[in-house]
Structure 1
Amino acid sequence: MTVTLPPFTLTNLPTYWDLAYGDPQAEWYNWDAPYLPRQIPTKTAFVTEANPYLDPNLFRLIAVDNTPVGMVSAHYEDGNLKQWLDMGIVIQNPKLWRHGIGKAALSQWLDFLWQTIDLPHLGITTWSGNQRMMGLAESVGMHQEAVVRQVRYWQGQYWDSVKYDLLRAEWGQAKDKND
């Protein structure tokens, strides 16, 4: 099984829309910030309007043996200052969860980001109900840097927002442990 991070293109946007938004009851919605309102774009809008996914420095597909299975992303928490970058990752097909795909993809994404940006810190944010995401962050050498308690409300209860980080100086050590 080969995991790669090809860029989004006008050609593969329709395929990704099918994967990500084709099933409005998809299981992955329950784990990817389910406490936020979800806006599902129409397929036409997704593939024809100016799509931010086409920026290869901020979005990449996750492909397994050349088949799209999810995506990695990055966004600047501080807007145009561009000094605070947070990442994201999602694998849409639950049958592919717990097969090492996320770890391979997130490791590649970290490598790519460290090579293309000049920042000392990268982060990822999840919520306390997503144990798999917390385990993934730790598996690539990230450290829990903050817990904002009881701020995410979903299914009748409050959950914590959990932030992980990795410093550039730590990445080589973390990568050596994982290889």
Structure 2
Amino acid sequence: MYTDKELTLRPIVEDDLYRIWELIYKDAQPEWKKWDAPYYSHHTKTYEQFLETKENWIGDDSYWAIEVEGVIRGTISYYWEHEPSKWLEMGIVLQESQSWGKGIGTRALRLWIQHLFTTMPLVRVGYTTWSGNERMIRVGEKLGMQLEARIRKVRYYDGVYYDSIRMGMLREEWEANQ
């Protein structure tokens, strides 16, 4: 568990499942999906369907809850792009619009990066977003990440082509800024 004032990152426990379902799968067209890879379809699930996958959520080191003042507001995660070379990518979603624009994502990612560099022998951490999500690009810049790749016009959404954006940071860059 990692804390920054009222913000906490922690593993997901069974008592969190209803809230996680509510944030991610309850609504057919949630507002957050307009910013989180909207070019991929989103599917609702009943709570019962979601519970069938609970073993994928509880205690998973790669997928944690973002809690603000005791309420889960989103999730933060990582996945291996290529584990033998320690190429790890991370992701974050704050599902409720009232959590946007308050620095919560930046603070949560700062804690997550610290967690990843502290607990794993990583050389680099990064994430991929799209050029339509300017807030996510700014978060990376605030954290000292570099624009590592811009793959032009590969994300098609709502009749418009967008770029895929890859942001990253090396361990030595992180340590120099701490």
| 2:100 aligned residue | 97
1:123 and 2:126 are equivalent in the alignment: yes
**TM-score, normalised on structure 2?**
0.91
Match of 2:39 among 30, 35, 44: 35
- Partner of 1:126, secondary structure, is strand
Give the Cα separation in 2 of the matches to 1:53 and 1:139.
29
Bigger share in strand = 2
Select which of 143, 146, 158 maps to 1:143: 146
2:81 — aligned with what? 77
Aligned to 1:4: 8
Partner of 1:160: 163
Match status 1:63 vs 2:67? yes
What is the root-mean-square deviation in Å for CA atoms of aligned residues?
1.6
* Cα distance per residue 1:43-95 (max 9 Å; x no partner): 212223354333442111000011100010101112x5362110000101111
Secondary structure of residue in 1 paired with 2:10: coil
Aligned length: 174
Unaligned runs of 5+ in 1: none
**Does the residue aligned with 2:14 lie in a helix, a strand or coil?**
coil
Amino acid at match of 2:92: I
Q: Look up the SS of the partner of 2:15 in the other structure.
A: coil
Structure 2 letter corresponding to 1:47? L
The verdict on how the C-alpha distance between 1:48 and 1:83 changes in structure 2, with shifts beyond 3 A counting, is same
Superposed counterparts of 1:17-36, under 5 Å: 17-36=21-40
Query: SS of 2:166's equivalent?
Result: strand
Give the structure 1 partner of residue 173 of structure 2: 170
How much identity, in percent, do the aligned residues show? 38
Unaligned runs of 5+ in 2: none
- The separation in 1 between residues aligned to 2:115 and 2:51, in whole angstroms, is 25
**Greater displacement, 33-42 / 115-124:** 33-42
Q: CA offsets, 1:1-47, max 9 Å, x none? A: 61101211122111111122222222101000000122333321222
Q: Deviations over 1:106-140 (max 9, x none)?
A: 01100111111111011110000000000011111
Distance in 2, matches of 1:53 and 1:34, equals: 23
- The 8 Å contact of residues 10 and 47 in structure 1, kept in 2 or not, is answered as no
What is the SS of the residue equivalent to 2:164?
strand
Which position in structure 2 is the counterpart of 1:15? 19
